[in-house]
Chains A and B, each alone.
Chain A
Amino acid sequence: MPFRFIDHTGDVGFELEGGTLAELLSEAVAAFACTLTDRERLGSAESRELELAAPAPDLLLHALLEELLYLFERDGFLAREGRMELAGERPWRLRARLAGECRDPQRLPLKLLVKGITYHQLAVAERDGGFHGRVLLDI
């Protein structure tokens, strides 16, 4: 599994892996969906597009997760997967095409609510020919 949950006393987090930064960010979409609900039952008929920029890869990961949280809180939209296109570095620019659905509470029970995406131990690093990330969410 290219992401795994971190055992945090009060909150929740995940570690991510990807051959490229784009792959790592796609995994972040999947990990976020798995944090909130049963991703296997999540549809992908609806889409959203995001354009984000950040001064560093870890902050790009943070910005992406904040947008996912906002879309969920505002519209109930949960992305099942995302196609990521990176366009430029410093700042790092991302175009994300998200596929998911606005959650039907009867069909898709929620596992937990996320309050925020923290900067505590937030990291994205390139090593061993791939990208590794870590992020903690406040719940």
Chain B
Amino acid sequence: MRLERLDPWRVRIPRHGGMRVDGIVYAGPELMAEIERDPCLEQVANVAHLPGIVGASLAMPDIHWGYGFPIGGVAAMDAEEGVISPGGVGYDINCGVRLLRSTLTADEVRPRLRELVAQLFRNVPTGVGAGRRDLRLGRRDLERVLARGAAWAVGRGMGEPDDLLHIEEGGCLATADPEAVSARACERGGPQLGTLGSGNHFCEVQEVEEVFDEKAAAAFGLARGQVTVMLHSGSRGLGHQVCSDFLKRMLDAARRYGIALPDRQLCCAPIRSEEGREYLGAMAAAANFAFANRQVMTHWVRESFAAVFGLPPARLGLGVVYDVCHNIAKFERFTVAGRERRLCVHRKGATRAYPPGHPQTPEAYREAGQPVIIPGDMGRYSYVLAGTERAFADTFGSSCHGAGRRLSRHRAKAAARGRDLVGELAARGVVVMADGMGTVAEEMPEAYKDVAEVVEVVEGAGISCRVARLRPLGVIKG
């Protein structure tokens, strides 16, 4: 595959074959050398084949081999002429990250850290199976979750109305159609509301280790030494099943609409088709389930802190800094070649990064820009960034979503053999509790790229600015 370096931060895959637009990969020379060893660049080119794609098929610096779309892929489709692809959203619809800030300092938390992590591990269900016995949903309740998202949980006393102001889309996609969600999806995922899941999902207690932009950090309510909590989870089995259901339908639809696919996982249908509209309604409902899921777990995080520190939640702060979607397709407006257009932006392992002043950036952050929360790995650090005008102009308001895997799970496990990873992390000051040690091995720090290298690219390219770096103190995983 021919590649052309455009500048220190971007590489172009020139349009060839059935590609309708170029591919653009955000990566410096070192990251690019790694990326080229992975089949993901072919996936960037494959996405460029989809009808109605606008601008370029984009890849963020945390790109790695996915299925259909690469992980770290962004593609904007014309809302009238373009297609919607369930594979461009992924199985874990609205997998995303939420960051909470507390009034506690790391020095206050450290003496009780082990107790706190154990309390979180008890309160926030991890791994497989159903969630807590005190949260059982009937069909009507589930429909309300699918329609209202995080607001459902707040209405049930699991959160504050202020939380909703600091969630992408206010924690609810109004286009949700609960009736488009299959009985099988409800059956599979309904009991999993308020569960973290497994794999790369986590709940992490952190310390603000460094502040790069004092003004933006102050706007986000972050200061050096402060304790934060990061939650990474999605729509669980419900979203997974919605994706599976519609992939099957889209395989037929793509054939009927005469859409040539370089990879069947890219199967899609015109946005304006019946299949396209139904998928968008079901996807939005699953996204709302994910917003509610993170909201419920936020409530249990607050209860865990209150139990350990013997203080009412109000004294502990634990307000929502922001909550972002990583896997989503949404209608957004951008100016392309001087013309404002309504586009359906697929973000598959990418984060919205809206600039200062944008009406969808929360009031409190209007001057700083939208918070962009970038988890790293459980041994090193994560970042809080802010969205920029450049991202709005160049990447359909998108940035990276994490560190990106460097090792396969198999290779990570091989590298972990014979090592006491929990002990190694404890030596770094990180308390880890997990359902199984296999997950800890697969998710060990070396399995990921250094997220600082990824962040260097998005800052260098001007699509996000560093605000703060967070260091892990304690982690629970499935």
Partner-B contacts on A (CB < 8 A): 5, 7-12, 66, 70, 73-74, 76, 105, 109-113, 115-122, 136, 138-139
Q: Which residues of B are at the interface with A, using a C-beta cutoff of 8 A?
A: 38, 40, 64-68, 71, 87, 90-92, 127-129, 184, 187-188, 197-199, 237, 240-241, 243-244, 247, 251, 263-265, 267, 405, 407-411, 435-436, 438-439, 442, 478
By a CB distance below 8 angstroms, the chain A residues around B411 are: 7
B265-A120 in contact (CB<8A) = yes
A74 vs B251: C-alpha distance when bound (angstroms) = 25
6 A-B pairs besides A9-B64, A9-B407, A120-B265 with CB distance below 8 A are A5-B410, A7-B408, A109-B438, A113-B197, A138-B90, A138-B92
- Minimum CB–CB distance from B88 to chain A (whole Å) comes to 13
Q: How far is the CB of B203 from chain A (nearest CB, A)?
A: 16
| A122 cross-chain contacts in B, Cβ below 8 A | 264
Q: Closest CB of chain A to B63's CB: distance in Å?
A: 10
**Chain B minimum-CB-distance residue to A118:** B67
Contact present for A120 and B409 (CB under 8 Å): no
Determine whether the beta carbon of B92 is less than 8 Å from that of A115.
yes
B264, A110: Cβ atoms closer than 8 Å: no
Contact B408 A9 (CB under 8 A): yes
Residues of A within 8 A of B90 (CB): 138
Known contacts A113-B198, A116-B243; is-contact A138 B68 (Cβ 8 Å): no
| Chain B neighbourhood of A121, CB < 8 A | 67, 263
A10 contacts B251, CB within 8 Å?
A: no
Please classify the interface of chain A as helix (H, G, I), strand (E, B), loop, or mixed, using the class held by over half of its residues.
Answer: loop
What is the number of contacts between chain A and chain B, taking CB atoms within 8 Å? Answer: 98
Ordered by A's residue number, 15 sampled pairs between the chains whose C-beta atoms are within 8 Å are A7-B411, A8-B65, A9-B38, A9-B64, A11-B67, A66-B244, A105-B129, A109-B436, A112-B438, A113-B478, A115-B92, A115-B243, A119-B67, A120-B264, A121-B67
B197 surroundings in chain A (CB, below 8 A): 113
Do B91 and A115 have beta carbons less than 8 Å apart? Answer: yes
Give the CA-CA distance A111 to B435 in the complex, in Å: 10
Residues of chain A within 8 A of B127, CB atoms compared:
105, 110, 113
Residues from chain A with a CB closer than 8 A to the CB of B478 are: 113
Complex Cα distance, B237 from A119, in Å, reads 18
Compute how far the CA of A78 lies from the CA of B294 in the bound complex, rounded to whole angstroms.
Answer: 29
B263 touches A113 (CB 8 A): no
Nearest CB of chain B from residue A111's CB, rounded to whole Å: 5
A117 to B65 alpha-carbon distance, docked (Å): 16
List the B side residues contacting A73 at CB < 8 Å.
188, 237
One of B91, B187, B244, B439 near A74 (C-beta < 8 A): B187
Q: Is the CB of B263 within 8 A of A120?
A: yes
Cβ–Cβ contact A10 & B188, under 8 A: no
Nearest 4 A/B pairs, CB to CB:
A120-B67, A119-B264, A116-B91, A115-B91
Check B405–A10 contact: CB distance below 8 A.
Answer: yes
Q: Closest residue of chain A to B68, judged by CB?
A: A120
- Which listed residue, B67, B91, B188, touches A70 by the CB 8 Å rule? B188
Whole-angstrom CA separation of A43 from B197 in the bound complex:
25
Q: Which of B65, B241, B265, B438 contacts A10 (CB 8 A)?
A: B65
Cβ-closest chain B residue relative to A63: B248
Which listed residue (B65, B243, B264) contacts A9, Cβ 8 A? Answer: B65
Whose C-beta in chain B lies nearest to the C-beta of A103?
B128
**Bound complex: CA of A109 vs CA of B438, how far in Å?**
10
Closest Cβ–Cβ distance, residue A42 to chain B (whole Å): 15
Given contacts A12-B409, A76-B129, contact A116 B240 (CB under 8 A): yes
Q: Complex formed: what's the CA distance from A73 to B129 in Å? A: 7
User: How close is A124's CB to chain B, nearest CB, in angstroms?
Assistant: 13
> A118 to B405, Cβ gap below 8 A?
no
With both beta carbons as reference points, the residue of chain A lying nearest to B239 in the complex is identified as: A115
Select which of A109, A116, A117, A139 is within 8 A of B199 by beta carbon: A139
Indicate whether A7 sits within 8 Å of B265 (C-beta atoms), given known contacts A73-B237, A115-B91, A138-B90.
no
Shortest CB-to-CB span from B199 to chain A, Å, is 6
Within 8 Å CB of A12, what residues of B? 409-410
Q: Note all chain B residues with C-beta closer than 8 A to A10.
A: 64-66, 71, 405, 408
A8/B267 contact (C-beta < 8 A), A110-B127, A138-B67 known: no
**B residues in contact with A76, CB < 8 Å:** 128-129
Residue in contact with B442 in the complex, picked from A66, A112, A116, CB distance below 8 Å: A112
Contact B198 A112 (CB under 8 A): yes
B188–A7 touching, CB < 8 Å: no
| CA A112 to CA B127, docked complex, whole Å | 8
Say yes or no: A116-B71 contact (C-beta < 8 A), given A73-B237, A138-B90.
Answer: no
| Whole-angstrom distance between the Cβ of A71 and the nearest chain B Cβ | 10
- Report the minimal beta-carbon distance from B435 to chain A, rounded to whole angstroms: 7
Q: Is the CB of B199 within 8 A of A112?
A: yes
State the CA gap A122–B411 with chains docked (Å): 23
- Write out the residue numbers on chain A whose beta carbons fall within 8 Å of the beta carbon of B237: 73
Supposing A74-B188, A112-B439, A113-B197 touch, asked if A9 and B405 sit within 8 A by C-beta, the answer is yes
